[in-house]
Structure formats: structure tokens, C-alpha cells
């Protein structure tokens, strides 16, 4: 807008006056101020700088976290590999320590201090005892563990084969032993004597015992006589044989008196046998013995009824008979 000024007239000039609507006097005669600057762009610039810094910090932090995760993963992987190697080592040593066999030659080979197993063990132990092992150490340890496991597996296979053969031999020996026991049993049974023609007689003594008369009356019986034969036997060796005799009275009681030779013997099945008397018989192999005689005397009277006799030899019953008194 243009400004209009009134020119002075005459000798008394007057100060020019600015129209009231446009004139703005400044005290002291100073120049008018410049219009205020716009700060919006400054703020935008600051915000942009701060935003860039935030983005940088965020990306930097993300990168750092990723790096930490990578390092942590590598560390965990290394720890896991270390523990895995230690586990493999302990397992291999345990397998080696458990190797054992009753085969003397193979056992000496396993326990040989200068042998290949001990050499592998010593080298492996030397590596594993290191406080700080390198990758090369770990690689060597893994190789030694694999080699040790292979050799241990070979020994385990050999031991298993030996144990299998031992079981077969044991089974064969057991079968032979059973067969031998059976044969021995057959021989033993074959050697058992057999008594035949067994008789029991009640004897009455006359003339002060000078004359013997057979009787069937209990009140007249002074003793009981047992007579029997021993059949020929091709297995029993010649010599003196014991024949145990058990006499049972009509009431089922065994006659026994230690003063007259009664006693106790053991049968083949382990049971105890109370016998009335025992008779020694001289036997020749494959030759029968006829009319073996044994007499039983007792202090008490004989009762009416049936008396029985059972003969035993070598732990077996070899015959029996009876007599009835009236």
C-alpha cells in the first residue's frame, strides 16, 4: 500500500502526518521489526533426526540380539558336543571294563597291559583329561572311541561264541552225565541180589537143645528159623555181603533186641530201616548160594498168628516170606 504525505505550506511548515489508518509511529525513531520466522520445518527436522536415531538404535539392537543368539547357540552346541563326547567316552570305557570271560587265553588278551585295547584306552584317557581340548583333540578322541568300540564289539562277539560253545558242551556233558548216572543206576540195580525160596519155620528144642523139631504151635516155638537162597548174579562182585532181616509179629511190631544183633541201616532212598538181625553171606560172582540160614531167639513167648520176614541188601528189598503159628 502506498503512503501519502502532506507537503508543508508557507513559512510554518508542519510535520507530515500519516493517515490514522496506516501510520504506526515507532518510538526513538527505530526501524520497524521483521515478521516472525516459521519454526515448523525446524520441528520436522528434529523429529526426522530423532526418528532416524530410533530406527538406527532399533536395528542395531536387533543385530546385537541376533549376534548374541548366534554366539549362545554356538556355545550351547559346543557344550552339547562336549557332553556327548564325554558320554561316549564313559560308555566305551564301561564296555571295556565289563569284558570278561572264563576263557583263559582270551581273558589274558583282554587284560594285557601292553595290548591294543590298553594302548587305545591310555591314549584316549590322556586326551579326555585335558582341561581345554581343541577341536583336533575332540576329533582324535571320537576316532579313538569308534576304534575302541569296534574292538570291544569284536571281543564281545568272540566271548558270545565261546559262551555258546560252553553251553553246548555243558548240555552235552549234562546229557552224558545223565546217561552215565542212568547206566550206573542200571548197574547198581543189576548188582542187587535176589533172594528166593524163602522159608520161615518155628523150631521146638528138645533134650536141652540137642534136638530140633519143627512145630506150627506158638506155645511150643522156641525160635524162628529163616532159610533162603541167593540167586546167581553176574554183576555183583565176589565177597561178603550183608543181608538185613526184618521180622514182624502178628500185631505188626518189628522184633528187635540189640543184644541179639538188632540195629538200624539206611536204604537206597535215604529212609532208615530198623532190622531184626543181619547175616553175612559169602558170595561168588555168577554163583548161587543155597540154604542160607539164620535163627531168631527171643526172651518172650511167641503169639499165635502170622510172622513175616523181609530181606534187604544194598539198600533194596530182595525178598520176603511168612509163617503162621497156631
Q: How far apart are the first and last CA of the chain?
A: 184
Q: Residue 92 — left, alpha, or beta (φ > 0 → left; ψ -120 to 50 → alpha)?
A: alpha
* CA dihedral sign of residues 152, 154, 155, 156: positive
Q: Which helix (H) or strand (E) holds 199?
A: strand 195-206
Integer Rg of the chain from CA: 64
d(CA 12, CA 279): 197
DSSP state of 254: B
Q: Which helix (H) or strand (E) holds 308?
A: strand 305-313
DSSP-derived 3-state class of residue 36: coil
What are the residue ranges spanned by the domains of the chain?
A: 49-190, 195-325
pLDDT confidence bin for 73, thresholds 50/70/90 = low
**Mean residue pLDDT across the chain:** 80
How many alpha carbons fall within 13 Å on the CB side of residue 47? 6
Decide which of 65 and 141 is more confident. 141
For 190-246, write each residue's pLDDT tens digit. 888 999 999 999 999 998 778 999 999 999 999 999 999 999 988 888 999 999 999
d(CA 219, CA 325): 9
Task: Collect all residues with Cβ–Cβ distance below 8 Å to 326 and sequence separation of at least 6.
Answer: 216, 217, 218, 304
For 242-289, write each residue's pLDDT tens digit. 999 999 999 999 999 999 999 999 999 999 999 999 999 999 988 999
Is-contact 204 215, C-beta < 8 A?
Answer: yes
Nearest 5°: the CA angle 275, 277, 278 is: 100
Is-contact 326 216, C-beta < 8 A?
Answer: yes
Query: What are residue 238's phi and psi, to 5 degrees?
Result: -70, 150
Query: What are residue 325's phi and psi, to 5 degrees?
Result: -110, 140
**CATH number 3.30.460.20 given to 195-325:** no
DSSP-derived 3-state class of residue 69: helix
Amino acid at each position: 500500500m502506498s503512503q501519502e504525505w502532506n507537503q508543508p505550506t508557507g513559512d510554518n511548515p508542519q510535520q507530515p502526518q500519516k493517515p490514522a489508518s496506516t501510520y504506526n509511529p515507532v518510538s526513538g525513531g527505530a526501524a520497524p521489526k521483521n515478521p516472525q520466522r516459521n519454526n515448523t520445518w525446524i520441528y520436522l527436522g528434529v523429529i526426522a533426526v530423532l526418528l532416524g536415531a530410533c530406527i538406527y538404535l532399533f536395528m542395531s539392537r536387533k543385530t546385537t540380539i541376533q549376534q548374541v543368539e548366534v554366539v549362545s547357540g554356538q556355545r550351547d552346541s559346543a557344550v552339547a558336543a562336549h557332553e556327548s563326547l564325554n558320554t561316549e567316552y564313559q560308555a566305551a570305557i564301561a564296555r571295556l571294563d565289563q569284558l570278561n570271560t572264563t576263557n583263559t587265553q582270551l581273558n589274558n588278551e583282554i587284560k594285557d597291559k601292553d595290548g591294543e585295547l590298553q594302548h587305545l584306552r591310555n591314549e584316549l584317557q590322556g586326551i579326555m583329561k585335558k582341561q581345554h581340548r581343541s577341536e583336533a583333540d575332540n576329533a582324535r578322541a571320537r576316532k579313538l572311541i569308534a576304534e575302541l568300540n569296534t574292538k570291544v564289539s569284536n571281543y564281545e562277539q568272540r566271548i558270545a561264541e565261546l559262551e555258546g560253545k560252553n553251553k553246548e558242551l555243558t548240555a552235552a556233558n549234562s546229557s552224558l552225565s545223565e546217561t552215565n548216572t542212568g547206566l550206573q543206576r542200571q548197574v547198581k540195580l543189576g548188582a542187587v541180589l535176589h533172594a528166593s525160596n524163602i522159608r520161615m519155620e518155628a523150631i521146638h528144642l528138645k533134650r536141652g537143645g540137642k534136638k530140633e523139631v519143627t512145630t506150627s504151635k506158638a506155645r511150643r516155638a522156641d525160635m524162628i528159623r529163616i532159610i533162603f537162597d541167593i540167586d546167581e548174579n553176574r554183576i555183583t562182585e565176589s565177597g561178603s555181603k550183608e543181608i538185613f532181616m526184618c521180622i514182624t509179629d502178628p500185631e505188626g511190631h518189628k522184633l528187635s533186641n540189640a543184644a541179639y544183633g538188632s540195629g538200624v541201616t539206611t536204604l537206597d532212598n535215604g529212609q532208615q530201616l530198623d532190622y531184626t538181625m543181619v547175616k553175612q553171606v559169602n558170595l561168588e560172582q555168577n554163583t548161587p548160594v543155597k540154604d542160607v540160614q539164620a535163627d531168631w531167639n527171643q526172651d518172650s513167648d511167641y503169639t499165635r498168628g502170622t510172622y513175616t520176614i523181609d530181606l534187604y541188601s544194598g539198600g533194596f528189598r530182595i525178598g520176603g516170606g511168612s509163617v503162621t503159628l497156631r
